[in-house]
Chains A and B, each alone.
Chain A
Amino acid sequence: MHTNRTAAVKNILRKREVSLLVLIGVLLLAVTLRAPGFATGQNASRIINDTSILIMVSIGQFFVILAGGIDLSVGSIIAFSGMAASMLNQAQPGIPAFVVLLVGTVIGVLLGMLNGTLVAFGKVPAIITTLGTMSIFRGMTFVLSKGQWVTAHEMTQSYMNLPHGNFLGVSNLIWWGVLVSAVMLTLSSYTKSGREIYAIGGNRTAAKFVGVSEKKIQFMIFTISGLLSGLSGVMWTARYAAAVNETASGFELQTVAACVIGGVSIAGGSGAIPGVILGALFLGIINNALPVINLSPFYQMFIQGFIVLFAMLINTLSARHNEKMLLNRRRQ
């Protein structure tokens, strides 16, 4: 029975990912028709490189949404940890870049833990907590930097090489995206804690009855989200060789959109990392295609919003369809 159920779930997920792949293919085709030369190997690696940060942060967001929450503070964590790491790099150029990366990541973890503590132990709803910390962390960024930027000539070359360098012809940033995806996929699908996140998001009461600690899970997911945001913050500032106070503002919505497009239920309990990765790639392709297809910026905004809504609609419809299937099966 149990294996049956997981097989069925996997089936649906597979379908979702297949349909997304088809959608991505159609999108690529449409863009290439308007802008020949878009679908080249070089451009593909450019887009994947550009989307790696979105993939990493969206995976963090995925865990939070999976457990029925939302993390609106990811953009601000990126800004703060990125600014802190850049300022450390500026003040102490002698510290090796990977140590700076570690410091930035730890800062992200701590900020994530703060969110987790407020949600898990303070019982403040996730949306309220992170709405607050979104502003707090952004404000902290301004206070820390005194409004000043850190730019290319104040950063060390090894710091800028964190995302920019390459290994086997593939940029470090892409490797980081692959590593994070692999580790997080293992965590979500093949560990007890990972399955517990699904359980809490799927049916809170039932999960509690079988002994899943909701507090532990909530604390964990916000910590993971903070970790990935902190890591991404360092990558972001190093990639653009600029730590500004507005870094990644509005980025939280992109991560939520990547999850939703990737088939993650906004109510929690369903979704998987491969879908999130495809959802992020889908957005990444749009982000990179819009500048080359010669459309007015107002149309670009329209298209972006339209596509997210469209994906959301497909999601709701397929969820309804799944419910019906389950009901039918029970009746039999």
Chain B
Amino acid sequence: MTKRIVVLSLVICLAVTGVLFAQGASEAEEAKDLKLVLLVKSLGNGFFEAVADGGEEAAAELGNVESIYMGPSASTAEGQIDIIESLIAQRVDGIAISANDRDALIPVTKKAMNAGIKVISFDSGISVGGRIIDLAPSDEELIGRQQVQLIAELTGYKGKVGIVSATSQATNQNSWIEWMKQEIQKPEYADMELVDVVYGDDAADKSYREAVGLMQKYPDLAGIISPTTIGVLAAAKAIEDEGKKGIVQLTGLGLPSEMQYYVENGTCGQMALWNPIDLGYTSTFILEALVTGAVEGKEGDVIQVGRMGTVTVGKDGSSIMGTPFVFNAENIATYAAMF
């Protein structure tokens, strides 16, 4: 509670000094750096600290940008609204938000946009009308196709592959799996077969049992894909306990901090997840393009995003960053420290 009060009073102080500073600056000289804010769900979360690192990286590349990292102490929409109010008063140039609520922020972000501030959302979006662009880390097709590519690289483009999913009704899981089925039809996977989809319900014990069951049902199983954090963790443990390390390959979507052990010891050769550094980096580039007027953020606009290539604005401002980032034994330690 006291922590909250301290943070709140800090924010208020910041707002007040911000107002004073902004007035002083406009009198003395024209602002030289664009102030682009990354407003995250809450402070003290490794994932968002990494987003901030990406923002800094983009600012260094762009040169004319000051990247500011902010967030409430607890992940509430109210906390974010207070901060946006203060940012409006500070007259920052752009805000990229990972929203605690898709709808609750709309009034205040509209106010910000009316004040000439460019607002986009990333990671956790704001509904249409409350932002110019919403940047999703990836899309279902890219994720699904990449999972098959990753397991194929591990198994040498041959053998039987099974999927350990979350629940059988999970929409995101099911559409990823549909895209995996599409991808594996391609000629380069002619020697591969997607034999089964099982559901671990995102419970460690059930996922473990289902993974063991897969290996029992298909004694010549070559690989497991588990596009869910708990599933991939349980499958890794199951492969180890069954003594199938190196025989059954594993990939999936996993958090580096949780999977570091298995990625480093080779049970899970490589896995993917959207990279928060890339999210912060891309968001900052998009904001800069909007603020400088390089693009308006209309459907079909193509934005140059440094090392990430380009981002194309889709319908209703929704856009996609790209294929998830691949973690392997070489790079996982770095990312495990972040999220």
Contacts and interface: CB of A to CB of B under 8 A. Distances in A.
Interface of A: 35, 37-38, 43, 46, 50, 149, 151-153, 164, 236, 240-242, 244, 246-250, 287-288, 290-292, 294, 296-298
Given A240-B204, A242-B230, A297-B168, 6 more contacts: A35-B217, A153-B336, A242-B204, A242-B233, A291-B209, A291-B213
Given A240-B208, A240-B237, A151 B259 contact: yes
Nearest to A248: B205
17 contacts: A38-B216, A149-B258, A151-B258, A151-B260, A236-B205, A240-B204, A240-B208, A240-B237, A241-B237, A242-B234, A242-B258, A248-B205, A288-B213, A292-B213, A292-B217, A297-B198, A298-B168
Contact of A242 (B210, B216, B237): B237
B199 A297 contact: yes
Contacts of A291: 198, 209-210, 212-214, 216-217
B274 interface: no
B202 A246 contact: yes
Contact of B216 (A37, A151, A250, A298): A37
The bracket for how many chain B residues form the interface is: 20 to 34
A294 B204 contact: no
Nearest to B206: A287
Given A152-B262, A240-B205, A292 B216 contact: yes
Contacts of B10: none
B60 interface: no
B16 interface: no
Given A241-B237, A291-B212, A298-B168, A153 B204 contact: no
A254 to B, nearest CB: 10
Interface string B229-246: 010011011000100000
- Nearest 10 pairs between A and B by C-beta? A291-B213, A153-B261, A152-B261, A240-B204, A297-B168, A151-B258, A292-B213, A297-B199, A291-B210, A153-B260
A260 B54 CA distance: 56
B76 to A, nearest CB: 15
Contacts of A247: 204
Nearest to A148: B257
B9 to A, nearest CB: 23
A98 to B, nearest CB: 22
B209 A151 contact: no
Contacts, number: 70
A297 B174 CA distance: 14
A153 B260 CA distance: 7
A95 B313 CA distance: 54
B203 interface: yes
Nearest to A301: B168
A289 to B, nearest CB: 9
A43 B204 contact: no
A52 B237 CA distance: 18
Interface string B113-130: 000000000000000000
A226 B206 CA distance: 23
Given A288-B209, A291-B209, A291-B212, A249 B233 contact: no
Nearest to B200: A291
A249 B204 CA distance: 10
Contact of A240 (B234, B259, B260, B336): B234
A210 B182 CA distance: 73
Contacts of B203: 246, 249-250
Contacts of A288: 209, 212-213
Contacts of A297: 168, 198-199
Contacts of B168: 296-298
Contacts of A287: 206, 209
B171 to A, nearest CB: 15
A293 B208 CA distance: 16
Contacts of A290: 213
A290 B209 CA distance: 9
Contacts of B208: 240
A46 B230 contact: no
A288 B214 CA distance: 11
A152 B256 CA distance: 12
Contacts of B234: 240, 242
A148 B191 CA distance: 40
A153 B205 CA distance: 19
Contacts of A242: 204, 230, 233-234, 237, 258
Contacts of B212: 46, 288, 291
B204 A244 contact: yes
Q: Which of A35, A291, A292 has the most CB of B within 10 A?
A: A291
A151 B257 contact: yes
Contacts of B259: 151
Contacts of B210: 291
A28 to B, nearest CB: 15
B177 to A, nearest CB: 13
Contacts of A37: 216
Q: Which of B206, B214, B233, B260 has the most CB of A within 10 A?
A: B233
Contacts of A241: 237, 261
